[in-house]
Amino acid sequence: MVIALPADADVLNPILWGGSSTGTVLQFLFADLTTQRFDSTQGLVVDEPGLARSWEWSEDGRQLTIHLRSDARWSDGVPFTSEDIRFAYSLYGQPKSGTARTTSLVHLPRMATGALDVDQAISIPDDSTAVFHFLRSYERHQQLNHAGLYSVPRHVLGETDPDSLRSSPYNVNPVSAGHYVLKKWIRKQEIELARRGDWSIPRPAHVDRIVFRILPDMSTRLIELKTGGVDVVEGLSPDEADEIERSDLDIRIERQSHRRFDFAGWNHIDAEVYRRSGGRTIRPHPIFGDRRVRRALTMAINRRELLVGWLGAYGQLCEGPVSPALRWAYNDTLTPMPFAPDSARRILADAGWEDHDGDGILDRKGQRLEFTLVTNVGNPRREFAVQKIQSDLQKIGIQCRTRLLETNQFNAGLRKREFEAFVAGLSTNLQADLQNQLGSDLERSVLNYSGYRNPVVDSLLNAASSKTELIEAGSALKKIQAILMEDQPLTYLFWFDNIVAINNRVKGTHVSILSVYERFYDWHVAAQP
């Protein structure tokens, strides 16, 4: 089976990896502690035994004991033990190692140097048991996730100084613990994996050989798909998917829906004052600080037309940051904001924004209702959204200039909350953990690009995060969505599908919100006729 990747892997060392292409490859090489499955009836991620045959929590919910299977072995034949888990975490927790995976360690004890206190954090009573000692009790699936970072073999890397991990030969020739083993890696061309006959956790894989071909350009990825050079291509545009659907090619389209959304962000705080004070002074934005204006903006944008115009059937309207797929958390009782430009104009008039000077642009106390809407260049979906929003707002007397920025520059500006208005996107969190997107602590809530602050939302976020079972957090999350509907901190535009094209010779695929490659070990390739 051949999978097209847009970029080469950086390293095949779980401690150091960064890019999404690397993440795709690693999941075939390294097994998870738990096998995750998305239960679409409840909208919950369900953990089933993987490398861990069972797990349990202490009474206070702070200790998670993991019992490992005894038959798991590294690809070099050495048994996989709890020592490997603790060793891996000692590297994850060591700032000198240069890992990017530290988000999972925030609830584990640290030393004064900032490094993970691995002796306090993880105890290993025996080779098949690892006990994680968290600082506090929190949602259990999240705790399992945080304990489930990929392990690395202590018998291979044990002598390696964390400082020199970046130049370790292991990075390009890993000993792995999963269904596949690295067979060949030709940099920037292809990565080849071979199935391990001795791995059956939770089930043996069917495909003997998986080749990842590095094809940076989407057009060539599609041509290779059509000529049979590759079997799986992700990230098609709706037009490309439609063309394949209409053709008589032996290729099918599958979709990963309700995972990522685009939104128009309105900066609630005065960006100039915020920037000049280094983030210490926060003043409401003269336009977007007013909830009535934000509501009017949402009502003035024809989101349905925007959705149909670009995504067609490959997207859904978005009303908030919680995915409708997460049934336990999604509030389906709310009435979506309508497209009502006349009402929007009335709301703006109530807020004092009227065309006093007759120039066609609304104004208030001498200030015109005008701003610059920014997005990143090279993303045609967002470029289309920006143009449509500009056109819709113009119709009710709002002057919206547009500006396209290089992606890195755009992302840096978002994190610094430099833009007045912007079109950006986020990935929904399957635990519906919204702290990072909505928390009032702007220093820590780095995804709260618009500087939204609401103490009621904060207390509900805290209430949700204190629950040990996800379903118990549902009530607080639904209340948050109701508040967001009123506040309109952002104008949520649409969920866009990750469109995947798969050659029909590949059977048994299960593209889900969890992953395109969920249960990849069940995939198989039909014999050529």
Partner 1 sequence: MIRLALNKLGYSALLLMGLATLAFFVVRLAPGDPAVLYGDEGADPDAVAAMREQLGLDRPIGIQYLRWLGLTEPYEGILQGQWGVSISKHEPVFDAVARAVPNTLLLAVSALLVDYLLGIWLGVVMARTAGRRLDKALTAVGMFIYSMPAFWLSLMAILVFSLWLGWLPATQMNSRDVDQWGLIDQILDRIRHLILPVCVLGIPAAAATARYVRYSVKDTFEKPHIRAARAKGLPESRVMCRHVLPNACLPLITLFGLTFPFLLGGSVIVETIFAWPGMGRLTVEAIYGRDYPVIMATTMIGGAMVVMGNLLADVLYGLADPRVRLRARR
x/- binding map, residues 107-136, to partner 1, per CB under 8 A? -------x----------------------
Contacts of 192 (CB under 8 A, 6+ apart): 182, 183, 184, 185, 209, 210, 211, 212
CB 433 within 8 A of CB 142: yes
From 102-110, 239-247, 264-272, 287-295, span contacting partner 1 (CB under 8 A)? 102-110
Alpha-carbon Rg for the chain, nearest whole angstrom, is 25
* Residue ranges in 62-101 that form contacts with partner 1 under rule CB under 8 A: 95-98, 100-101
Contact 205, 520 (CB under 8 A): yes
Figure out which of the listed residues 215, 244, 251, 470 binds partner 1, where binding follows CB under 8 A: 215
Nearer to partner 1 by Cβ, of 41 and 167: the residue is 167
- The verdict on 443 binding partner 1 (CB under 8 A) reads yes
Indicate whether 498 belongs to the interface with partner 1 (CB under 8 A).
no
Residue 211 near partner 1 by CB under 8 A: yes
Assess 528 for contact with partner 1 (CB under 8 A): no
Q: CB of residue 301 vs partner 1: minimum separation in angstroms?
A: 25
Is 18 an interacting residue with respect to partner 1 (CB under 8 A)? Answer: yes
**Looking at the chain, how many residues does it have?**
529
CA distance 2 to 517: 13
**102 in contact with partner 1 (CB under 8 A):** yes
* Strands (DSSP E) found in 357-468: 363-364, 367-368, 370-376, 399-405, 421-427
The footprint of partner 1 on residues 414-433 (CB under 8 A) is 415, 426-427
What's the half-sphere exposure (Cβ side, CA atoms, 13 Å) at 148? 21
* 221/76 Cα distance (integer angstroms): 34
What whole-number distance in Å separates Cα of residue 98 and Cα of residue 423? Answer: 32
Lookup result for tokens 């439609």: 242
Comparing CB distances to partner 1, the nearer of 127 and 224 is 224
Report if residue 216 touches partner 1, rule: CB under 8 A. yes
Kindly report whether the peptide bond that precedes residue 202 is cis, defined as omega within 30 degrees of 0.
yes
Count of positions on this chain that bind partner 1 (CB under 8 A): 55
Enter the tokens of residue 310.
């670009």
Nearer to partner 1, 11 or 244 (CB): 11
In this chain, which of 217, 248, 250, 332 binds partner 1, going by CB under 8 A? 217
From the list 37-45, 193-201, 207-215, 274-282, the region that binds partner 1 by CB under 8 A is 207-215
In sequence order, the β-bridge partners of residue 251 are 503
Strands 490-503 and 251-266: antiparallel
- Binding of partner 1 by 183 (CB under 8 A): no
Neighbours of 366 (CB within 10 A): 7
Residue nearer to partner 1 on the CB measure, 208 or 305: 208
Q: Give the binding site for partner 1 (CB under 8 A).
A: 2, 7, 10-11, 13, 16, 18-19, 95-98, 100-103, 106, 114, 166-167, 171-172, 187-190, 211, 213-217, 219-220, 223-224, 226-227, 229, 406-409, 411-413, 415, 426-427, 436-437, 443-444, 446-447
